[in-house]
Amino acid sequence: MDCYNHPPDPSPGFAVLFRSLAGLSVLLLGLWLALWPDLARAASNETDVTLQARHWTDPSGRLGIDEVVRRADGDFEAIVDYRSFQPGAGALWLRLDLPLRDTTRRWYLMLSAGAFTNLATLYTANPSGGWTAQQAGDHLPVSQWDHPDQTPVFLVDPQAAGPVWLRLENHPAPLSPRLVLLDERQLQDTRQWTFLMVGGYLGFGLLVLFLGWVHARLYADRAFVAYCCYVACMLGFQAAFTGVGGLFFWPGHAAWNDAAPAVFMLWLTASGIWFVREVCVVSRHSRRVDRIVLAWSVFGLLFPAAYLLLLNQPAFIVLNLYGLLSVLLSFGLCIWTWRRGETYAGWMALGFLPVHLAYPFPALRSAGVLPDSWATQYAVLIGSAIEIPLLLYILHRRAKDFSENRARLRAIESTDPLTGLTIAPVLLLRLRDALRRARRYDHRFGLVLVELSNHAAIVDREGREAGDRALVVTASRLSAVVRDVDTVCRIGETRFAVLVEGPEDLKLLGQHIVAKGLERVPQLPADMALRFRLVSAALPDEADGSVDDTFLMERLNHALDRLADDPRKVVLHLPQAV
């Protein structure tokens, strides 16, 4: 028996998948925490030489190395703590006296967490009395760096005498340099750990993105489309922000490498607001607020063009304000709609929390309040690694609940609310189809009408609720004695119809139905069974064209009514339906 026709619920399979996904998330997080001591030990072996440097800002940005060296004694100041610098359109110069180091090893100076520096040039004195320059930064394709890496890296001659000079440009964002001196082995270890973490994150993100797209196709829900856009922008932002994108994905495109962090950040924020708008169904609660939210999202989508065209301090301030206010807006929308009855909006607020808590670190670094550090570089990456699968699970539960509600609504139109059986109009349609097949292909079928004859006695003795339970049990037992292709329908208060497809021994089926009713009913007293009375009819081999569904139903109903006059007889088989 099929109560209603709709696609099978895919939730059980996806539930297993999501449990596996959650387990993988916990495993990755545990692996990350387990590897953290090794990362800390590796970092402790590096030599942070930032506070040994002296700094000076060239406001014009046009002075060469020789002119800067002549100013070294009077203009350069010591760096007493980790801080940010605002060179504007100028250049920041750092003078660094390198500590003693093993001359048998190759040494490198790394500008840590500086993947988004516009231009970095290291000058070292050569034996001929001139200067050797090494360059890196977003204004150069990574493939043309002297030492291509995710962040600017420069080779330092261990036998070179005198200080080294580092020239930095970055506009309009501030500079907060952190200089690390490390040998070739330490540099390789740092690369491996970084690629392991970022590569694992990107691979996991792509898996979640694929699952989100599968859900979008499965449920036809725009919230999953917005989620996929959000995850794609998040992956692009992390690839650009950590420098992995410039090293592996676009090594020959300097302009895009320079613009990618800001562009992906704006697109990420805009798609996040769109995502919140879809999940929280803001339009249901206020059309005006919905329009404002939509305009805010469109602004973030289009503003990258204006930002890259202007590339000045006001545009940079707008970029940072847009990101900060979007965090507050998304959280506020979730709480507002949750208080208005959107259950999953509250869960969305919790789902966004890991990234909302991590966002201030890179935001404050971008504004020049915090210096570059491991936290400003990887806080959002760790937060999003927790957030992305969590949001997908929330969306999955939301879509599952909505799908079940839609299935119930569809079922109400074609099933009996009490028993879950097919309603009479559906039975008549199938009966007409069976009659057409009988006329064209000599297809045989049977029709059985069953009456729960002691329903009134059950209600008088045990109450209306027990009578309803008896009807539900009747529907269940009738469904149990027929095949999946047959149709069981409730056509009256206590009367049921069974459409039996194909040739069948209706007399034997009638005996099974009566015997099934006499079985013990757990919901009723032991001395009270279900007593069935039934009439059956089989369509003859040669169907008369005048026979229709209405005629058959009337004939069997009339026969079942007359059968009630003889209480000793409970089964009647009509050999001919005409």
* CA neighbor of 198 nearest in space, from 325, 5, 378, 71: 378
**CATH number for 504:** 3.30.70.270
Please say which residue of 370, 387, 411 terminates a domain.
411
pLDDT, position 226: 96
Are 562 and 521 within one domain?
Answer: yes
pLDDT for the residue 453: 92
Same domain membership, residue 18 and residue 62: no
- Asked which of 182, 200, 235 is the last residue of a domain, the reply is 182
Cβ neighbour number for residue 230 with a 10 Å cutoff: 26
Residues 6+ apart with CB under 8 A from 512: 481
Question: Does some domain include residue 171?
Answer: yes
Please indicate, yes or no, if residue 3 is contained in any of the structural domains: no
Residue 41, pLDDT score: 42
Helix axis angle for 343-358 and 374-414, nearest 10°, is 170
Pair 366, 438 in one domain: no
Residue 264 shares a structural domain with residue 371? yes
Q: Which domain holds residue 441?
A: 424-574
Does 210 lie in the same domain as 144? no
The strands making up 119-125's β-sheet, listed across from edge to edge, are 77-78, 53-58, 91-96, 164-169, 119-125, 131-136
Tell me the pTM: 0.72
**pLDDT at residue 40 in the model:** 42
What average pLDDT values come out for the chain (578 residues) when binned by 10 residues?
39 48 51 46 62 92 91 83 87 90 89 81 88 94 94 87 89 89 92 92 94 92 95 96 93 94 96 96 94 97 95 92 94 94 91 88 73 78 91 92 71 77 88 85 87 92 91 92 90 93 83 90 82 86 61 89 85 71
Same domain, 198 and 60: no
Do 235 and 191 have their domain in common? yes
Q: Are residues 261 and 381 in the same domain?
A: yes
Considering the domain architecture, whether residues 203 and 144 belong to the same structural domain is answered as no
Do residues 354 and 466 both lie within one domain? no
Residues 178 and 56 in one domain: yes
Number of domains composing the chain = 3
Amino acid identity of 8?
P
Cβ atoms of 570 and 531 closer than 8 Å: yes
Are 533 and 449 found together in one domain? Answer: yes
